Chains A and B, each alone.
Chain A
């Protein structure tokens, strides 16, 4: 069975950093692009970033560009999100997701597998 498990969330002060991790299982990790999607409390889904199999092509939402960095380690079947200069508006549940098809980030593809999410709270 295909699984994604996120970790690394927590409470952090504004301006500080946090690194999220996501481990995949049940599929060939480097055959697929991976994405981060977040959901603020009581709000809708917001795409954050997508990364290709070899980490060459990486896309970011304007809201996080320059502050967040996405990376992956295919040997560990893992996806990461380094979040710097955190703001209160970054408070959300962060989901790791698998692109349905393709090993490069293609925003027109669907996201067929989702982790359970990890919560990030930015507050002083």
Chain B
């Protein structure tokens, strides 16, 4: 059971918008700690996708955006493309555990 809760899977048609939620608690996201997002293709290492809740590293398309509110965060992908099909993970810090915590991951399927 992950400290941060993500839906196991989401799907969308090409061109559509999808969102992936990341729900935490008052000891992590709700305490004000930043949320970061990673994209992982099968057999590959995770790629840094969103940092500090809503910032994109250089080279990440602006189709990807992040937000945070209260004890939750969200990753939105607009103009969905087949190449976006991957696993997505959120990450934050938990003060009760005194450590980095990840969500369980969400598999995005492009229909």
Contact = CB atoms under 8 A, between A and B. Distances in A.
| A and B co-occur in one complex | yes
Interface of A: 35, 37, 44-47, 50, 59-62, 95, 100, 106-117
A97 B48 CA distance: 11
Given A44-B89, A100-B51, A95 B102 contact: no
B45 A110 contact: no
A45 B3 CA distance: 12
A105 to B, nearest CB: 9
Given A46-B102, A61-B99, A108 B51 contact: no
Classify the secondary structure of B's interface with A. Answer: strand
A113 B33 CA distance: 20
A111 B103 contact: no
Nearest to B89: A45
B99 A110 contact: no
B98 A44 contact: no
B100 A47 contact: yes
Contacts of B100: 35, 37, 47, 50, 107
Nearest to B37: A110
A111 B24 CA distance: 19
A95 B51 contact: no
Interface in B87-106: 89, 91-94, 97-105
